[in-house]
Amino acid sequence: MNAVIRAEQLTKYYGASRGISGLSLEVEAGEVFGFLGPNGAGKTTTIRLMLDLIRPSSGRIELFGLDARRDSVEIRRRVGYLPGDLHLYERLTARELLRYFASLRGLDGIGEGKSLAERFELELDRPIRSLSKGNRQKVGLVQAFLHRPDLLLFDEPTAGLDPLVQITFNELLREVAGAGGTVFLSSHILSEVQRLADRVAIIREGSLELVEAVETLRARAFVRVEATFAKPPPKRAFAGLPGVRELERKGPVVLFALEGPADPLIKALARYEVLALDSHEADLEDFFLTLYREGANGAR
Interface positions with another protein (CB under 8 A): 14, 44, 48, 51-55, 72-74, 76-77, 79, 81, 83, 85-89, 91-92, 96, 99-101, 103-106, 143
CA dihedral 255, 257, 262, 267 (to 10 degrees): -40
- Smallest gap, in angstroms, from Cβ of residue 72 to another protein? 7
Distance CA 300, CA 291 (A): 15
CB nearer another protein, residue 74 or residue 248: 74
Separation CA 258–CA 243 (nearest Å) = 6
In whole angstroms, the minimum distance from the beta carbon of 158 to another protein comes to 18
Q: Judged by CB, which is closer to another protein: 44, or 158?
A: 44
Q: How far apart are CA 142 and CA 119, in angstroms?
A: 10
Q: State the minimum distance, in angstroms, from the CB of residue 73 to another protein.
A: 5
- The side-by-side arrangement of strands in the sheet containing 274-281 is 244-250, 253-258, 223-229, 274-281
Beta bridge partners of 225: 256, 279
Between 152 and 244, name the residue whose CB sits nearer to another protein: 152
- Please report how close the Cβ of residue 143 comes to another protein at its closest, in angstroms: 8
122 sits in which H/E element:
none
Closest CA to 229 of 286, 275, 280: 275
* Residue 7 neighbours by CB distance under 10 Å: 25
CB 14 → another protein: shortest distance, Å? 8
Which one, 73 or 299, has the nearer CB to another protein? Answer: 73
C-alpha to C-alpha distance for 220 and 168, rounded to whole angstroms: 29
CB of 96 to another protein, least distance (A): 6
Nearer to another protein, 44 or 186 (CB): 44
Alpha helices in 105-162 (DSSP H): 113-120, 133-145
Q: Residue 51 or residue 274: which is nearer to another protein going by CB?
A: 51
In terms of CB distance, is 33 or 81 closer to another protein? 81
Going from the C-alpha of 86 to that of each of 129, 133, 140, 285, the distances in angstroms are 13, 10, 7, 26
At 125, the amino acid letter reads: D
From the CB of 69, what's the least distance to another protein, in Å?
Answer: 10
